[in-house]
Chains A and B, each alone.
Chain A
């Protein structure tokens, strides 16, 4: 049971570079999320996808784009990285059914540093 798998685990970018964070889940979940975690601020939602083919902005979407490639995969792209995007990024997924497993399952996180 892999659960939620994120790649890469660590990444250093130069300002202005682009990159894509990959996320895949094997639990047949409908909903997937991208969060960023910064010291003292908890987890803030960047984008989410309620189901395959749909994406919506969260609390802090500026500077990011997402793609829900299929039911399993949800990627996060930084087109032009900025130092303010230095953070730990978490992907999560959960079932859409209200009576089962409404907790979210998280990946291991990606530690991104933009210099």
Chain B
């Protein structure tokens, strides 16, 4: 069975603080994809990153970085020097590789960045 857990329901930080959003997943597959999506207050879902389970290298994109650790089944997302525009709900998701017609989403973490 596939499952994604985002234990942090809501996080509040002050602008310029660093914040890490946790994502823990369960799967019996040896190969899979992991994703992060952002849902700003306007409601749309914005794709942020896709990671193949073969590749455990961490990734950095500007103020965003992702830490993928297969040993702990985690795919955590860190925002450095947070900004008010980062306020959103962030979803972690998992999909199979060879039958990737289904995404399994976590329940989301609401991030509030205060000025």
Interface residues of chain A, those whose CB is within 8 Å of chain B, are 31, 33, 35, 40-45, 48, 50, 56, 58, 88, 90, 92, 98, 102-109, 111
Q: How far is the CB of A67 from chain B (nearest CB, A)?
A: 17
Q: How far is the CB of A95 from chain B (nearest CB, A)?
A: 10
> Do B45 and A90 touch (CB < 8 A)?
yes
> Do A41 and B107 touch (CB < 8 A)?
yes
> Do B105 and A43 touch (CB < 8 A)?
yes
> Do A45 and B102 touch (CB < 8 A)?
yes
Interface size class of B (residues with CB under 8 A): 20 to 34
Interface residues of chain B, those whose CB is within 8 Å of chain A, are 4, 6, 9, 33, 35, 37, 43-45, 47, 50, 91, 95, 97-98, 100-103, 105-108
Given A106-B45, A108-B43: 18 more A-B contacts, CB < 8 Å? A31-B101, A35-B105, A40-B9, A40-B107, A41-B107, A42-B107, A43-B103, A50-B101, A58-B102, A88-B43, A98-B97, A98-B98, A102-B33, A102-B50, A103-B35, A103-B50, A104-B47, A106-B37
Is chain B's binding surface mostly helix, strand, loop or mixed?
loop
Q: How far is the CB of B91 from chain A (nearest CB, A)?
A: 6
Q: How far is the CB of A113 from chain B (nearest CB, A)?
A: 15
> Cβ of B107: which chain A residues have Cβ within 8 Å of it?
40-42
> Do B43 and A48 touch (CB < 8 A)?
no
How many Å lie between the Cα of A48 and that of B33 in the bound state? 18
> Cβ of B44: which chain A residues have Cβ within 8 Å of it?
106-109
Given the known interface contacts A40-B107, A41-B107, A50-B101, the answer about A102 and B95 at a Cβ–Cβ threshold of 8 Å is yes
Q: Can you offer 30 A-B residue contacts whose CB atoms are under 8 A?
A: A31-B101, A33-B101, A33-B103, A40-B9, A40-B107, A42-B4, A42-B6, A42-B106, A42-B108, A43-B91, A43-B105, A45-B103, A48-B101, A50-B101, A58-B102, A88-B43, A98-B100, A102-B33, A102-B95, A102-B100, A103-B35, A103-B47, A103-B50, A105-B47, A106-B44, A106-B45, A107-B44, A108-B43, A108-B44, A109-B45
Q: How far is the CB of A112 from chain B (nearest CB, A)?
A: 13
Q: How far is the CB of A107 from chain B (nearest CB, A)?
A: 8
> Cβ of A108: which chain B residues have Cβ within 8 Å of it?
43-44
